[in-house]
Copies of this chain bind each other. A is one copy, B any other.
Amino acid sequence: MEDWQALVADERVLVTRDILRYNDMDDNGHLNNSVFTVLCESGRVHYFRERVTPHLPDHTFFVIARIAIDFKAEAFYPGEALTATWLEHLGRSSLRVRQKIMSADKIVAEAEGVCVVMDEATRKPFPIPDATRAALEPLLHAP
């Protein structure tokens, strides 16, 4: 919990809140693993809209290239989930975000997501422009 407080106090970290739904549970009476990818996506989309997309050329968009999730504890309905998202790495045309999901005062998952900037016209990876890089670098965070 102390680590979580320190994490979310960092301005480079964006917290996204979700409310769990009865339907999120599966036959085991806990959140199905696919719901964690939905929560990660909520956090990722929120982060990009707030902090990344405004710095990108209009003719570009993102695709998700990789997700990896380590499940740390079960999560249950009813309850909430808080997803902390931050930028971990800037590649040539890709970004890697890191995420922690907290529910009922426990870290229930840790995740990474790799997104690639794409050119709308060519549908190919688009190198991150220098101005974008300059704007994003201060967000890099390796807790």
Contacts and interface: CB of A to CB of B under 8 A. Distances in A.
Interface of A: 17-19, 21-23, 25-27, 29, 32-35, 37-39, 41-42, 45-46, 63-71, 78
A41 B22 contact: yes
Q: Is the interface of A mostly helix, strand, loop or mixed?
A: mixed
A91 to B, nearest CB: 15
A45 B22 contact: yes
A42 B18 CA distance: 13
Contacts of A22: 26-27, 38, 41-42, 45
Given A34-B34, A63-B71, A42 B21 contact: yes
Contacts of A19: 17-19
11 contacts: A21-B38, A23-B26, A23-B32, A25-B26, A26-B27, A32-B41, A33-B41, A33-B64, A34-B37, A46-B78, A66-B69
Contacts of A37: 33-34, 37
A38 B34 contact: yes
